[in-house]
Structure formats: C-alpha cells, structure tokens
Amino acid sequence: MTFPETRLRRLRATPELRALVRETTITAGQLMYPIFVQPGRNRRDAVASMPGQYRLSTDLLSGLARRVRELGLGGLMIFGLPEHKDETGSEAYRPDGIVQEAVRRIKDAVPDLLVATDTCLDEYTSHGHCGIVRDGKVDNDATLEFLARIALSQAAAGADIVAPSDMMDGRVRAIRYALDADGRQDVPIMSYAAKYASAFYGPFREAAGCTPQFGDRRAYQMDPSNRREAIREVALDIEEGADIVMVKPALPYLDIVRDVRETFGVPVAAYNVSGEYAMIKAAAANGWLEEQASVLETLTSIRRAGADIVLTYHAPEAAQWLHDAS
Ligand code: PBG
C-alpha cells in the first residue's frame, strides 16, 4: 500500500507516538567519561581546545567520582599526565604512577564506580610514541612486555577494565596472558581494536601532552581509507581475548561501527574523540549550533550505528540533559 493508505507521518504526530516507536535510545549508563589526571594538589587546569574539560590533580577526583556516580554514567576512562617522561615511559607502570594513584583515589571515594584505564605509553614517553623506539622506529614486539606491565599495575591499583590504545600487533594476547598469570583473569580488556590515524585527536594531544616528537603514528594506527582491514583488526583482537572492542574515532567512522556490530557478537564501543567534541563546542560558542540538540543527535547517531558504549567528553552534560528530559 502506498499513499494515501500509507502515511508515515501518522506515527510522528505527537511526542507520545514518537516515543513509542523510537528505535534508538541513549542512557547515561551507556556513556563513559574520559578524564585527564595530573600530579600536584588542588590543580584544575582548563584544556583550551576542549572547553569544559580539565586536567585534575588526584585530590580533586573524589568529588568528580561522586558526581559521575550521581549522574549514573557507565564509568570513567582515565588518562594520566606523568611527572616525568622517559624513553620507556616508566611512570606508566610504576605502582605509584599518576593513573594508579587516580584509580585508588576514585575507588576509595566511590568503590562501585566503574573505572577503565588507558593502557598506553605515549603520554609517558619522552618521544611521544605509543611504543618502545629502536633505531627511530616503534618496535612492536619490544613494546608488548611494557604494555603488559602497564595493564598489570593498573589492575593491581583497582582498575575494572584495561584499555590498550597503542595498536601494536599481539598486545591483547600479551596483556591477557600477563593478567591471567597474575590471577587477574576476571579483569576485562576493552581494546581500541580499530583505531585510525586521525586528525581528530589534535585537542587530546594538547590536553595530554603526547604529540609525537618525530614522525607520526601512521606506522601503527590504521589508514583512514581502510574498511576491510578494520574487520581483520577486530577479529584478531577478539581471538586474542578482547572482551569489548572499540572503534575510534566515532563520527567519521560510523560505517566501521556498523560493520563491526554486524560482523561480531561482542560488545562494541565507539570513542567520540576530542576533535569531535571541540567542533561542537566551538560552533556552539559562536552561536552557530544549538549545543544540547547537536550533542544528543551525535550520540544517538553513534548508538544507531551500532555502538553499545560511547566514550565521550560530553558524558556529564549529556547525562544531565537526559535526566532533565525524563
Ligand atoms: C593514545 C590515545 C590517544 C587518544 C586516546 N588514547 C591519542 C593518540 O592516539 O594520538 C585520543 C583521544 C581523543 O582524541 O579524544 N594513548
């Protein structure tokens, strides 16, 4: 049947009808909030390119944790800015490293708040790459042992999920073996499985101070042109033991989110990265976009593409809006 028997506008006529037939929903519990943690006391430094985001010292984390709990967010993802950087990023795996300290603070304040940790070297290395550099190149196999050490120290500090973001081959297996050998077989791995070499990480690199000091990340992160390769990356990570797989960035890669959703049965996360956040914030600040509607539409599109979990700097605001609307 076609017009006039079929009228798709019938089901759009009222908010009640629209709510009844809505296909995609977002809840606060599906959102994870990435945060930046730095050394010191009572420090709350704004990230210029990410309005509303701060680098917090660990003593300020209990307040944040309580607020995140109150908002009902799915959890936190922690990124650390170390006191010192060196060739092997040693603060990333020190028991008293910045992320380990942050996890303990948060868990002390709100024990049941889910905490994931970014398992990577780039914020901690003097050269800013995500691995161990040998002869001017990032050495894949030499890096694995370090990633395993980072994951172990984060789990020991109380992290509920470890999230490797380095894109080395074989790192999920290396981390899984190390965790299991340490009796931490219950700690899940959320792998940044299809992570692209993206220009949209720019503001994050300012926030975390991890711009590579030479070259770029294209020898380990994926080429934005590749779609089939993402399926291979995700398949390998699942085989190696990833419990949750992530696509990153989100918006320019919604086709990849959809592919991964349709190909695999595991939970899928998508990372709405710093550049995606900055675009909306900048346009909203200029009065060019309506912020709340743009953010909720963006998050809806990522969920509709097939993501179960969305990592987003908009998380606290979005949760508040969702709450106000209900
Ligand atoms: C690497 C890492 C990056 C991001 C998350 N983890 C930066 C990079 O790969 O260069 C980017 C996140 C964002 O842009 O929001 N540890």
pLDDT digits (tens, 9 = 90+) for 278-299: 999 999 999 999 999 999 999 9
For 85, phi then psi, to 5°, come to -110, 150
Given the CA of residue 120, which atom of ligand 1 is nearest to it?
16
Q: Which atom of ligand 1 is nearest to the CA of 272?
A: 15
pLDDT the model gives residue 193: 97
Distance CA 24, CA 45 (A): 36
Full-model pTM: 0.97
Mean pLDDT of the chain: 97
Helix ranges (DSSP H) in the chain: 15-20, 61-71, 98-109, 140-157, 171-181, 202-208, 228-240, 254-263, 274-285, 291-305, 315-325
Kindly give the number of the ligand 1 atom that is closest to the alpha carbon of 277.
15
45, containing H or E segment: strand 44-46
Cα 287 to middle of ligand 1, angstroms: 28
Q: Is the pLDDT of residue 326 over 90?
A: no
Whose CA is closest to atom 1 on ligand 1?
165
- Quote the crossing angle between the two packed helices 315-325 and 291-305, to the nearest 10°: 100
Determine what percent of the chain is predicted with pLDDT higher than 90: 97
Task: Flag whether pLDDT at 155 surpasses 90.
Answer: yes
- Predicted confidence at residue 87, as pLDDT, reads 95
Task: Report which residue type is found at 308.
Answer: D
pLDDT of residue 109: 98
- Torsion sign, CA atoms 77, 83, 86, 90: negative
Both tokens of 70, joined, read: 């109150």
Q: What is the mean pLDDT of residues 53-75?
A: 98
**Apex CA 247: angle with CA 245 and CA 251, to 5°?**
150
CA of 136 to the centre of ligand 1 (A): 21
Nearest-CA residue for atom 6 of ligand 1: 165
Rounded CA separation 253/265 (Å) = 19
CB 87 within 8 Å of CB 131: no
Mutate to test the pocket of ligand 1, among 120, 121, 201, 206 (most ligand atoms within 8 A of CB): 201
pLDDT of res. 72: 98
Mean pLDDT value across residues 102-115: 98
Give the C-alpha separation, 207 to 219, whole Å: 23
- For residue 57, is pLDDT > 90? yes
| Cα angle for residues 141, 123, 105 (degrees, 5° grid) | 110
Which ligand 1 atom is at minimum distance from the Cα of 195?
9
268, 310 in Cβ contact below 8 A? no
Place of tokens 């987003």: 312
Instruction: Provide the pLDDT confidence category of residue 300 given band limits of 50, 70 and 90.
Output: very high
Q: Is 277 in the pocket of ligand 1 (CB under 6 A)?
A: no
Which H helix or E strand runs over 212?
none
pLDDT for position 3: 98
201 CA distance to ligand 1 middle (Å):
6
Ligand 1 center–CA 210 separation, angstroms: 9
Determine if ligand 1 sits within 6 Å of the CB of residue 119.
Answer: no
| Structure-model confidence comparison of residues 225 and 210, the more confident one | 225
Nearest CA to ligand 1 atom 8: 201
Residue-wise DSSP of 216-238: -STTTSBPTT-SHHHHHHHHHHH
Which of 49, 120, 218 maximizes ligand 1 atoms within 8 Å of its Cβ, making it the mutation to test the pocket?
Answer: 120
Mean pLDDT of 13-22: 98
Q: Say yes or no: CB of residue 165 within 6 Å of ligand 1.
A: yes
| Among protein residues, the one whose CA lies closest to atom 5 of ligand 1 | 165
Q: Check residue 165 and give its pLDDT.
A: 96
Residue range 44-54: mean pLDDT, rounded: 97
Cβ-count burial of 216 within 10 angstroms (0-12 exposed, 13-18 middle, 19+ buried)?
A: exposed
Active site residues: 195, 248
Give the mean model confidence (pLDDT) for residues 55-77.
98
Q: How many helices (H) and strands (E) does the chain have?
A: 11, 12
Model pLDDT, residue 209? 87
Q: How many angstroms separate the alpha carbon of residue 205 from the centre of ligand 1?
A: 7
pLDDT at 322 over 90: yes
Burial per residue of 289-317, b for 16 or more beta-carbon CB atoms within 10 angstroms, e otherwise: bebbebbbebbbbbbebbbebbbbbbbbb
Average pLDDT over residues 217-238: 97
